[in-house]
Amino acid sequence: MRKIILKENLERKRKRNVTLASIFLFAILILSTVGFALFSADQSAQPQTPTNSSGITDLGGGRWGIALGDKSIVLSNSLATVKDIPVEISTNLISYTQSPIYISSKNDAIAREIANALSSYANRIQNACYGQCEENLPEKTCSDNLIVWVDKTENKVYQKDNCIFIEGDMRAVDAFIYHLLGFS
C-alpha cells in the first residue's frame, strides 16, 4: 500500500529539491569561473615565444612567423637562412594590395606559401600558366601580376615588367616574401 502524502509535505519536498538543484548549479557556476581564472592566470605566466628585434618569431618546427597588425604570415625559413639570396625586384607589397595575383608553379607547397603570405593583401590569388599551357588554367603574361616559380639549383629572384621570377627552392620563395615585407 502507498502512503498517503499530504499536499503540504509534497510541496515542502518539491521546494527542497528545487533548492538543492539551485545550490548545485550555482556551485558549478562558481567553480567553473574560479577554474577559468586560475587556468588563464597560469597561461599568461608561461613564457611567450621569443621574438627577435626584427619582429620575426621562431614558431618552432622550422616555421617562422611575422605579425603585421592583425595579420600573421608563416614562412618555412628564417631571415638569416635567406639573406644571401639575391632579390632584384622593384615591386613591394603595396603593388599587390587589392589586385589579382597569379601564381605559376608546378609545386603545390611553393604556391601555397606564396598564396598564404599574400592572400590578406591581394584581391584574389589564382593559379595560372606563364604563356601557353595544356592545363585548364588561365594563360598569363608579364602584363599581369604574375609570380613564376621555376625549380633550379641556384636561388634568385628577379623581375621583368609585372612578372616576378623565383628560381630555386622554398628559400628563394621566402627571400621574396621577406623582401616584399621590407625585411631585406
b vs e for 13-30, b when ≥16 Cβ sit within 10 Å of the residue's Cβ?
eeeeeeeeeeeeeeeeee
Question: Same structural domain for residues 91 and 25?
Answer: no
| Local confidence pLDDT in tens for the 184 residues of the chain | 566 667 787 888 889 888 988 888 888 888 888 777 776 654 443 333 334 446 777 677 677 777 776 777 878 888 888 888 888 988 888 887 888 899 998 888 889 888 888 888 888 888 998 888 888 888 888 888 899 999 999 999 999 988 999 999 999 998 998 888 887 6
Question: Same structural domain for residues 119 and 173?
Answer: yes
61 is a domain residue? no
Cβ pair 154, 138 in contact under 8 A: no
The dihedral sign for the CA sequence 128, 129, 132, 134: negative
Residue 126: strand, helix, or coil: strand
Residue 48: strand, helix, or coil: coil
User: Containing domain of residue 153, as a range?
Assistant: 78-180
Question: Same structural domain for residues 86 and 175?
Answer: yes
The grid coordinates listed for 117 are 603570405
Amino acid 50: pLDDT: 37
Number of structural domains the chain divides into: 2
27 is a domain residue? yes
Question: Same structural domain for residues 83 and 149?
Answer: yes
Amino acid 73: pLDDT: 80
CATH at 83:
3.30.379
Amino acid 52: pLDDT: 44
Question: Same structural domain for residues 27 and 104?
Answer: no
Find residue 130's DSSP bridge partners. Answer: 140
**Cα gap 167→27, rounded to integer Å:** 63
Question: Same structural domain for residues 40 and 89?
Answer: no
12 is a domain residue? yes
Question: Same structural domain for residues 102 and 172?
Answer: yes
72 is a domain residue? no
Find residue 129's DSSP bridge partners. Answer: 139
Cβ pair 180, 92 in contact under 8 A: yes
